[in-house]
């Protein structure tokens, strides 16, 4: 009980905002992580976790039965759900993947804007725990477990400054990384036809070209980035 009370107190105690220089250096670090290929290959595993989690959450909310999630070492993933192969449920499930990281980043920015750095980290831990029970392969289990261990370590042992920087870094990587995955999606689509990507599956279901759906993904992500910048105090509107 004492441990739970300690966790609750940590979650609900707001931290002061980071110094502007520290915050902007964190923005620079997040941009480097997303733009520098060796770092991006590692960070992209986190984006894939959120991507597949987005598919899973919307599948359940739309009445489909979630069959499991697989995460692969090449940063790809697969979410299996059972239900009608067509119709709104399948469309919304496919739509959910690429915007998921940006939407989670927006929610994270909302919490950070109110000073709940540790609260954000524990929310992420809860989401990872819920996802873990749906993972159906060893690499996926390892990937989620390692991610959760890192988040827990910072939330429990890190100083307030370290927690604040880490929480902001995760938020920004989610936002920037989400955009990069959509740009990579379109590059991949332009190199080969007959793709099984989310955008192409949506095109086959709706008879609306895949480029439209990629544009929708990017539009949602850009809105999330703009709103997050406002919530985090990087821009004044």
Kindly report the three-state secondary structure assignment for every residue of 147-182: HHHHHHHHHHHCCHHHHHHHHHHHHHHHHHHHHHHH
pTM above 0.85, yes or no: yes
Q: Is residue 171 part of a domain?
A: yes
Q: Is residue 189 part of a domain?
A: yes
Q: Is residue 14 part of a domain?
A: no
What pLDDT score does 237 carry?
Answer: 53
Asked if 75 contacts 194 with a C-beta cutoff of 8 angstroms, the reply is no
What is the domain extent for residue 195? Answer: 20-231
Sign of the CA dihedral with 222 first, then 224, 230, and 232 last? negative
Q: From first to last of its 237 residues, what are the pLDDT tens digits of the chain?
A: 677 787 888 888 888 989 999 999 999 999 999 999 999 999 999 999 999 999 999 999 999 999 999 999 999 999 999 999 899 999 999 999 999 999 999 999 999 999 999 999 999 999 999 999 999 999 999 999 999 999 999 999 999 999 999 999 999 999 999 999 999 999 988 887 657 899 999 999 999 999 999 999 999 999 999 999 999 999 765
What are the φ/ψ torsions at residue 72 (nearest 5 degrees)? -115, 160
User: How buried is 121 (Cβ within 10 angstroms: 0-12 exposed, 13-18 middle, 19+ buried)?
Assistant: buried
Q: Is residue 44 part of a domain?
A: yes
**What is the number of other CB atoms lying within 10 angstroms of the CB of residue 191?**
8
H or E stretch including 43? helix 37-61
Rg (the chain; Cα; Å): 18
Torsion on CA atoms 23, 109, 120, 98, rounded to nearest 10? -120
Q: Is residue 127 part of a domain?
A: yes
Alpha-carbon distance of 109 to 49, in angstroms, equals: 19
Number of domains in the chain: 1
Alpha-carbon distance of 171 to 106, in angstroms, equals: 8
In sequence order, what are the residues at sequence separation of 6 or more whose Cβ sits closer than 8 angstroms to the Cβ of residue 230?
236, 237
Q: Which two tokens stand for residue 12?
A: 């609900």
Q: Is residue 170 part of a domain?
A: yes
Q: Is residue 102 part of a domain?
A: yes
How many separate helices (H) and strands (E) can be counted in the chain?
9, 2
What pLDDT score does 194 carry?
Answer: 59
Q: Is residue 141 part of a domain?
A: yes
What pLDDT score does 8 carry?
Answer: 84
What pLDDT score does 196 carry?
Answer: 86
Comparing CA positions, the residue from 23, 71, 36 lying closest to residue 172 is 23
How far does Cα 186 stand from its chain's mean position?
19
């Amino acid at each position: 009980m004492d441990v739970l009370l300690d966790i609750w107190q940590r979650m609900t105690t707001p931290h002061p905002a980071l110094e502007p220089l520290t915050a902007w250096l964190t923005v620079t670090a997040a941009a480097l992580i997303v733009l520098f290929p060796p770092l991006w290959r590692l960070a992209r595993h986190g984006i894939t976790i959120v991507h597949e989690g987005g598919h899973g959450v919307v599948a359940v909310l739309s009445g489909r039965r979630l069959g499991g999630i697989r995460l692969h070492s090449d940063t790809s993933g697969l979410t299996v759900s059972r239900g009608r192969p067509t119709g709104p449920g399948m469309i919304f499930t496919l739509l959910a993947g690429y915007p998921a990281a940006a939407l989670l980043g927006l929610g994270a920015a909302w919490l950070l804007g109110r000073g709940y750095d540790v609260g954000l980290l524990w929310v992420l831990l809860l989401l990872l725990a819920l996802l873990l029970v749906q993972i159906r392969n060893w690499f996926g289990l390892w990937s989620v477990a390692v991610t959760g261990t890192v988040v827990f370590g910072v939330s429990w042992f890190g100083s307030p400054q370290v927690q604040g920087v880490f929480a902001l870094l995760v938020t920004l990587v989610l936002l920037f990384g989400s955009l990069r995955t959509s740009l990579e999606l379109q590059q991949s689509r332009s190199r080969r036809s007959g793709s099984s990507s989310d955008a192409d599956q949506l095109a086959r279901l709706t008879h609306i070209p895949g480029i439209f759906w990629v544009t929708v993904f990017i539009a949602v992500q850009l809105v999330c980035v703009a709103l997050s910048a406002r919530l985090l105090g990087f821009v004044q509107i």
